[in-house]
């Protein structure tokens, strides 16, 4: 029987599995591994505790400044949506985020198409030049930007803030869409032209359906950049009724001696929801797009 089994294993070409023996750790290696685990655990706690406080305090009727097991209630969310001021903060944030993203995509699509389809002198220099806008820290130019907005009469207006936010996000959108449009074969557009379509009709019927993933990724990056911006609305807006939710969270924490921790945490949860929902819808598009090839040719 033994000879049969050994012969069959040889004929089938199977190699018997050998057990991997673990080498015993030296004392120094054991100490290093233990310190590594402790460090990772501390870093995980450092990252998770703020989220735990926000989630638990948002549903705690007696929320405080420390992490504690909550007395479950939805009073903080009811207070957020029934308060006289907080819903307006959310509306302002949505108006700014959606409008700036739409304007950014419109400008980015037109500019990205021009950069992808036309060859002109200084094109490469221009593309690297607009990327420099993202390299310069926003605080370095915020005072000059404020003075410009005052002089053209757009300070303390949502319209002025939307223009500035769309312009801030435009370099990344241009690079992303230029690379995406460049990947669409020009022969498809030429076929549409032969069929009697104008250039705009060919863009609408051929290019736009093919660059949908790039548009989705650009929309998500732009919206998240606008939604999380704190400095620009703080400087350009002076009227509290125009403030977005990011400024409202800061004021709720800093201006009053008696902080409503539960309302503050509920506001933070509401503040998280729009970008999280957008991320769920367009996350797959991020995997299909790349900045590579933006300046190809």
Q: What percent of the chain has pLDDT over 90?
A: 26
Long-range contacts of residues 164-167, Cβ cutoff 8 Å, at least 24 apart: 164/232, 164/236, 165/96, 165/100, 165/104, 165/225, 165/226, 165/229, 165/232, 166/100, 166/101, 166/103, 166/104, 166/107, 166/222, 166/226
| Side-chain-facing half-sphere of 284: CA atoms under 13 Å | 2
- The pLDDT value recorded for residue 27 is 82
> What gap in Å lies between CA 57 and CA 51, rounded to an integer?
10
Residue 15 has pLDDT above 60, yes or no: no
Q: Mean pLDDT in the chain?
A: 83
Backbone angles phi, psi at 159, to 5 degrees: -60, -45
The whole-number average pLDDT for the span 153-163 is: 92
Instruction: Give the number of other Cβ atoms within 10 Å of residue 187's Cβ.
Output: 8
> What gap in Å lies between CA 291 and CA 297, rounded to an integer?
14
- The pLDDT value recorded for residue 125 is 85
**DSSP characters over 54-96:** HHHHHTBTT--SS-----B--HHHHHHHHSSSHHHHHHHHHHH
Instruction: Give the number of other Cβ atoms within 10 Å of residue 166's Cβ.
Output: 23
Residue 20 has pLDDT above 90, yes or no: no
The whole-number average pLDDT for the span 250-274 is: 82
**DSSP characters over 88-143:** HHHHHHHHHHHHHHHHHHHHHHHHHHHHHH---TTHHHHHHHHHHHHHS-HHHHHH
- The pLDDT value recorded for residue 288 is 60
Tell me the per-residue pLDDT of 127-147, one tens digit each, with 9 for 90 and over: 888 877 778 888 888 899 999
Backbone angles phi, psi at 229, to 5 degrees: -70, 130
| Residues 205/192, Cβ–Cβ less than 8 Å | yes
- The pLDDT value recorded for residue 9 is 47
> What gap in Å lies between CA 173 and CA 106, rounded to an integer?
10
Tell me the per-residue pLDDT of 76-106, one tens digit each, with 9 for 90 and over: 888 888 887 888 999 999 999 999 999 999 9
Among 95, 100, 229, 224, which Cα is nearest to 87's?
95
Tell me the per-residue pLDDT of 162-213, one tens digit each, with 9 for 90 and over: 999 999 999 989 999 998 899 889 888 889 898 888 888 999 888 888 888 8
pTM to 2 decimals? 0.78
Burial class (CB in 10 A: 0-12, 13-18, 19+), 197: middle
């Amino acid at each position: 029987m033994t000879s049969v089994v050994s012969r069959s294993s040889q004929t089938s070409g199977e190699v018997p599995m050998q057990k991997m023996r673990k080498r015993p750790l030296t004392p120094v290696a054991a100490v290093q591994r233990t310190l590594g685990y402790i460090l990772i655990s501390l870093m995980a706690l450092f990252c998770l505790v703020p989220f735990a406080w926000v989630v638990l305090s948002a549903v705690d009727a007696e929320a405080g400044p420390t992490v504690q097991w909550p007395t479950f209630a939805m009073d903080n969310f009811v207070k957020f949506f029934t308060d006289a001021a907080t819903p307006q903060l959310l509306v302002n944030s949505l108006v700014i985020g959606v409008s700036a993203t739409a304007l950014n995509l419109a400008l980015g699509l037109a500019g990205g198409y021009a950069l992808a389809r036309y060859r002109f002198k200084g094109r490469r220099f221009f593309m690297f030049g607009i990327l420099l806008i993202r390299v310069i820290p926003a605080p370095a130019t915020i005072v000059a930007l404020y003075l410009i907005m005052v002089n053209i009469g757009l300070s303390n207006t949502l319209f002025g803030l939307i223009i500035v936010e769309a312009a801030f996000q435009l370099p990344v959108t241009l690079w992303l869409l230029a690379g995406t449009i460049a990947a669409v074969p020009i022969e498809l557009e030429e076929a549409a032209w032969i069929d009697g379509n104008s250039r705009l009709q060919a863009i609408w019927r051929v290019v736009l359906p093919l660059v949908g993933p790039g548009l989705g990724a650009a929309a998500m990056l732009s919206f998240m950049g606008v939604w999380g911006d704190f400095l620009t609305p703080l400087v350009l807006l002076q009227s509290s009724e125009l403030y977005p939710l990011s400024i409202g969270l800061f004021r709720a924490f800093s201006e009053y001696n008696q902080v409503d921790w539960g309302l503050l945490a509920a506001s933070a949860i509401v503040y998280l929801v729009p970008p999280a929902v957008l991320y769920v819808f367009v996350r797959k598009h991020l995997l299909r797009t790349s900045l590579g090839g933006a300046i190809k040719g």
